[in-house]
Amino acid sequence: MDDFASLVAGFQVALSWHNVGFMAVGVILGIIVGVLPGLGGPNGVAILLPLTFGMDPTSAIILLSSIYWGALFGGAITSILFNIPGEAWSVATTFDGYPMAVQGKAAEALTAAFTASFIGALSGVVLITFVAPLVAQFALRFGPAEFFAVFLLTFCSFIGMGRENRAKIIASLCIGFLLAAVGLDSISGDLRMTFGSTELMRGFDFLIVVIGLFGVSEILLTVEEGLVFKGKQARIDLMVVLRTWAGLPRYWATLLRSAIVGMWMGVTPGGAIAASFMGYGLAKRFSRRGRNFGKGEIEGVLAPETAAHAAGTSALLPMLALGIPGSATAAVLLGGLLVWGLQPGPMLFVEQKDFVWGLIASMYLGNLAGLVIVLATVPLFAAIMRIPFSFVAPVILIVCAIGAYTISNSIFDIWLMLIFGVVGYVFKKLDYPLAPLILALVLGDRAEDAFRQALLGSGGSLGIFWANGLVTTLVVLALLLLCWGPAGDALAALRGRGRMAARAAE
Amino acid sequence: MSLPSETEAPEPGIARRPVEIATALLLIGLAGLVLYDSHGRGAGWDGGPQNGFFPARVGWIFLAAALFILWQSFRRPDGVFVSYAQLRQVVRVLGPLVLFVALIQPLGLYAAAAAFILAFMAVVGTSRWWSILLTALLVPVVCFWIFELQFRVPLPKGPLEAALGY
Contact (CB<8Å) B69/A171? yes
A163, A342, A470 from A473: Cα distances, Å: 25, 29, 5
CA A437 to chain B, closest CA, distance in angstroms equals: 12
Residues of B in contact with A395 (CB under 8 A): 139
Residue A130 has pLDDT above 80, yes or no: yes
Nearest-CB residue to A177 (from B37, B58, B86): B58
Dihedral pair phi/psi, residue B81, rounded to 5°:
-75, -55
Neighbours of A249 (CB within 10 A): 8
Identify the residue among A204, A389, A397 best suited for mutation to test binding to B, counting B beta carbons within 10 A and taking the highest: A397
For residue A332, give the nearest of A61, A27, A38, A46 by alpha carbon. Answer: A46
| 8-state DSSP, B60 | H
- The mean of the pLDDT values for chain A is 81
- All residues of chain B having their beta carbon less than 8 Å from the beta carbon of residue A181 are 54-55, 58
- Helix residue ranges per DSSP H, A315-388: 316-322, 328-339, 346-351, 353-384
Instruction: Report the mean per-residue pLDDT for chain B.
Output: 83
CB atoms within 10 A of CB A462: 11
Q: Does residue B64 register a pLDDT over 90?
A: yes
Rounded to an integer, what distance in angstroms lies between the CA atom of residue B33 and that of residue B59? 9
CA A108 from centroid of its chain's CA atoms = 26
Distance separating alpha carbons of residues A472 and A464, to the nearest angstrom: 9
| Segment A475-497, tens digit of pLDDT | 888 888 888 777 777 777 777 76
Mean pLDDT, rounded, for A213-227 = 79
Alpha-carbon distance of A323 to B132, in angstroms, equals: 46
Please give the helix or strand (H or E) that residue B83 lies within, else none.
strand B80-83
The more confidently predicted of residues A86 and A177 is A177
Of residues A185 and A96, more confidently modeled: A96
Q: Which of B100, B139, B153 sits opposite A406 (nearest CB)?
A: B153
Write down the pLDDT at residue A228: 60
CB contact under 8 A, B139 and A422: no
Per residue in A261-306, pLDDT tens?
888 877 766 566 777 787 888 887 777 776 778 777 888 888 888 8
pLDDT cut 70: percent of chain A above it: 92
- Top pLDDT among A87 and A139 is at A139
Rank A31-45, A114-128, A469-483 by mean pLDDT and report only the highest: A114-128
pLDDT, residue A232, reads: 65
Least CB–CB distance from A223: residue in B93, B135, B153: B93
Q: What is the mean pLDDT of residues B51-75?
A: 89
Q: Please state, in angstroms and rounded to a whole number, the distance separating the CA atoms of residues B65 and A420.
A: 21
Contact yes or no for B72 and A188 at CB 8 A: no
DSSP-derived letter for residue B14 is E
Inter-chain contact A390–B92, Cβ cutoff 8 Å? no
CA distance A369 to A375: 10
pLDDT beyond 80 at A369: yes
Chain B residue with the nearest C-alpha to that of A458: B48
The pLDDT value given to residue A2: 65
The angle, 0 to 180 degrees and rounded to 10, between the axes of the packed helices A298-314 and A57-82 is 160
Task: Answer yes or no: is pLDDT of B3 > 50.
Answer: no
Residue B144: CB partners within 8 Å, gap ≥ 6?
B110
Which one-letter amino acid corresponds to residue A323? G
Cβ–Cβ gap A414/B116 under 8 Å: no
Give the pLDDT score at B29. Answer: 93
pLDDT band for position B1 (cuts 50, 70, 90): very low
The CA distance from A316 to A312, in Å, is 7
- The answer to whether A225 and A395 have CB atoms below 8 angstroms apart is no
Check pLDDT > 70 for residue B113.
yes
Overall residue count recorded for chain B in this entry: 166
3-state secondary structure of A171: helix
- Put simply, the answer to whether A411 touches B72 (Cβ < 8 Å) is no
Of B45, B51, B98, Cβ closest to residue A418: B98
Higher pLDDT, residue A426 or B146: A426
d(Cα A259, Cα A247) in Å, to the nearest integer?
18
The reported pLDDT for the residue numbered B7 is: 42
- pLDDT for residue A307: 87
SS3 of residue B95 by DSSP? helix
- Cβ contact A390–B120 (<8 Å): yes
pLDDT at B8 (0 to 100): 45
d(CA A186, CA A341): 17
Measured between CB atoms, does A181 come within 8 Å of chain B?
Answer: yes
CB contact (8 A) between residue B55 and residue A394:
no
- Average of pLDDT values for A18-37? 84
pLDDT at A419: 94
- Least confident span in A110-124, A235-249, A414-428: A235-249
Report the gap between the CA of B10 and the closest CA in chain A (Å). Answer: 16
pLDDT tier at B6, thresholds 50, 70, 90: very low
Q: With CB atoms and an 8 Å threshold, state whether B94 touches A422.
A: yes
